[in-house]
Structure formats: structure tokens, C-alpha cells
Structure 1
Amino acid sequence: MSVFRTFENTTSTMSVKKPLSTLSAFSYIPPRRNDPKEASYFSKEPQAPDVSTYDQLFNQAEGYDMRLHRDDRRHCKGRGLDINQEERSRAVPVLSSSVYGHRPAPALLQTGRQHARVARIQADFFMKNGIIWNVAEGYGSVAPL
């Protein structure tokens, strides 16, 4: 759906097509959100300072970072971010893959060692494939069973 606006000049009348979203009150996106920390993703205050749009465009840091794929992306592949520390600050992880950053399971859920498999040296090391190897005789004597 499009809306027509007419502008009258002294010389001619002009008709311009603009989308409806430009006239909506809900289409404005603020440059900085000052919501409470409970409404944020990690339930904490933002650490980034308030920087004006002019400073973002015209006062960029000079130099070249060779570890970045492209120089205009500050947090390329998570460089400079500590996602694990931010995930640990949450009571419930956002993603199921983020469980590694949370506290370990309580001792109630840990398995006991009463049914653990214990490897026996004589069964596994000295008797392989039915050949007895005697350490006392040395390395050269191998006698069949």
C-alpha cells in the first residue's frame, strides 16, 4: 500500500510515492535504548558508551587490524566479546548449547564409582591372544599356551 503526497511549487505540481511506514509513528527506531536492565538480553546494564551518530561516522579509530576479516567490523567472530561470562550471569541459559557456561550439576545427580570398570593389568597386558609373555625371562622368550 502506498500513499500519495502532493507538493505544490510555483512552477508545477509534483506527486511523490512514499511507503506507509514512513508515516507511521511506530517506524522510528531510536539510536539508543534506555530500557531497564530486566528488559535486556543478559539482564545487565549496557557497557557501551553513548556515542553520537556523527562520531560514529566521522571520528573512527585510525589503523588496521590484521586479525579481522574486514576492518569495518569491530566484533568480527566474537573478538572483544566475552559471551561465556555473559551467559553465566543469566539464571537460565538462553540456548541449550549455552549450558556449558552454567554451574555444575549438584552432587545428588553425580554417578557413583561402585560400578566402574577396573582394568586388570594381567588380563589386558600380559595375556594377549593366548600368548603368555613372561617378564622374568626377558623380552626374547614368547611361549605359546
Structure 2
Amino acid sequence: MHKKTLLALTAMLVWAGPARAQTATDCPQLPPGSNAQWEVQQGPGFVFCRAVERDSARQAFAVTIGREASFKPRRTDRVGDRVTIDGTRTYWHAPQNDLLAGTLVRETLLELPSGDYAHIIVRASDETQLARTLQDAEALHFSDVRLGSK
């Protein structure tokens, strides 16, 4: 009986190890029913997550997660009302950039519970696409995101 208990505990520990390691992820959780999937690029001190639409291969939005804030929001660039992303109140910003003429761009910065920062960038060709993409970006969940989780 003691041997069976020891084997059972050993098996539980073996299974618990990988499960614990898998709870931390590089990218936030996409909203249920999202048509996107993550493409991930690791960098020194950051992770770049591209949400790419499955049917069109178009980048819906991107999230850069790093130990330092890669985006410095300016109050003068704020657009719209305050939004909440995974429990954090923030504003979308529309920075002026002549290189992106004809493209609607929105950016925001979140400080994550881990102490890392998430810079979310949305680019769209029209207002309808922008509204849909902002809705998906605002439904992201960062609770298990840890920089360098792999």
C-alpha cells in the first residue's frame, strides 16, 4: 500500500510540473471566438506577439511585452473614452505619423501584474475594421503572461 501511494504521489508531481510551466504564456489570451492566432517572436528582453487573422493572414493587432515600456503615451494623443483591458483602465492613443498616412492607428500601454509592460498596437484601413479590432484587443487577458515563460 505504501508503495502504491508513493507511486501515485510521484506521478502527480511529474504531471504537476509541466502543468505549472504551461500556465505562464508569452502572449495574452485571445478572446473566445477570435478569428486570430498568435505569431510570436522572441527578442532580448521582450516578446512580440502578432494576432494574425486565420482567413486572410492580415495582422489584426500586435502586442509587445517587455520589462521596459516601449511606448510613451502622450495625453495630447488620447482618443475616445477610457477603456478597460483585463481590469486595467487605460486610453487609446492616435499618434501622428506621416509614414502611416491612410492607416488608422491606435496604441495603448498596460503595466501587467508581473511588472512587465504590454504595448498594444492596432492598425486598420477603415473605421469598421478599427472598431472590430479594438473590441478584440480590449478583450485580451494578460493574467498568465510572463516574459520569458518558455
Structures share fold, TM-score greater than 0.5: no
Larger relative contact order (CA 8 Å, sep ≥ 6)? 2
Q: Which has the larger radius of gyration?
A: 1
Shorter-chain-normalised TM-score: which range?
under 0.3
The TM-score normalised by the length of structure 2 is 0.21
Query: Structure 1 or 2: larger strand share?
Result: 2
